[in-house]
Amino acid sequence: MSDPRDPVGRLGLGAANVGNLYRALSDDEAQAVLQAAWDGGVRTFDTAPHYGLGLSEERLGRFLRTKPRDDFVLSTKVGRLLRPDPSWTGGDDDAHDFVVPARQHRVWDTSPAGLRRSLEESLERMGLDRVDVVYLHDPERYDLDRTLDEGLTGLAALREAGLVAEVGVASMDTAALAASARTGVLDRLMVAGRWTLLDRSAAADVLPACREHGVRVVAAAVFNSGLLATERPSGTDLFDYRAPSGDELARARRLAEVCHAHGVPLPVAALRFPLQEPLVSTVVAGAAAPEQARANAAAMAAEIPAALWDDLS
């Protein structure tokens, strides 16, 4: 897929923003973000039905249908089905931070039949005939024990049927990630926000479990929702979708000082840090504007002094 010696080739685009996360993008603005990422060398794209109640998948599919299918790697997620909400009387999907009309709602279904139905509906929204990777999305938010029983069985069935090449779990919860890796069923884990400069909690249980069972890691949410996305972190930046605590802000500012001393902007170090772990195959980052997509690609190509990682540790 990507050359491990090529950092730019190990950058993926997370498509939550093109599903109107936090703010609305027009169709043209969303396409401009995707095109900027493509022009910057990105060939790995990740989406989910959850992102904008299907809007992210629709927009990403419209863009990728213009590209040769074998030139990119595409992943989506399963576990939540989108169904019309009969109680909707207007308003956006504010509860999940997406600026889209909440005409649909999410219905959990981690049964093997439900996972297959979810994949089929995602392909229909995207207008594509296949994805490369399917992740079970946030299993701990539903029923972790049940999901590990029936959900991973369903994932394995999708892979065995040749409907996807690889399967995994995507989560911010280290207990769910470690338990999923230990089953030995998965090819990948998408570790969201738990293997970053500021939050390295995946090192305790998740990474050892992946190492033991041969599971590759995709590092996502590497800016922890924004606190590591600027050179000078502030209290107005988000940490894991909320305001940072005083301690979290202080540690982010200390990281920024160390990076500055080495002539490396904090966001550049934040993008590149996960790749210091050999298990990490890809770093997935979002972008809400073309200039952010271009900045992410440039960051992956930047020279990083080896001494920086020593000082940051």
Number of structural domains the chain divides into = 1
1 inside domain: no
> Which amino acid, 195?
W
53 inside domain: yes
In CATH, what number is assigned to the domain containing residue 167? 3.20.20.100
Q: Has 51 been annotated as catalytic? A: yes
295 inside domain: yes
Structure token pair of residue 191: 């570790």
Rounded distance, CA 305 to CA 95, Å? 42
2 inside domain: no
Domain extent, residue 205, equals 8-312
Full pLDDT tens readout for the chain, 313 residues: 344 445 567 999 999 999 999 999 999 999 999 999 999 999 999 999 999 999 999 999 999 999 999 999 999 999 999 999 999 999 999 999 999 999 999 999 999 999 999 999 999 999 999 999 999 999 999 999 999 899 999 999 999 999 999 999 999 999 999 999 999 999 999 999 999 999 999 999 999 999 999 999 999 999 999 999 999 999 899 899 899 999 999 999 999 999 999 999 999 999 999 999 999 999 999 999 999 999 999 999 999 999 999 999 8
Structure token pair of residue 51: 């992102």
209 inside domain: yes
Q: What is the pTM of this model?
A: 0.94
261 inside domain: yes
Rounded distance, CA 25 to CA 141, Å? 28
22 inside domain: yes
Q: Which of 22, 51, 142, 241 is catalytic?
A: 51
Q: For residue 189, give the nearest of 240, 140, 133, 145 by alpha carbon.
A: 133
3 inside domain: no
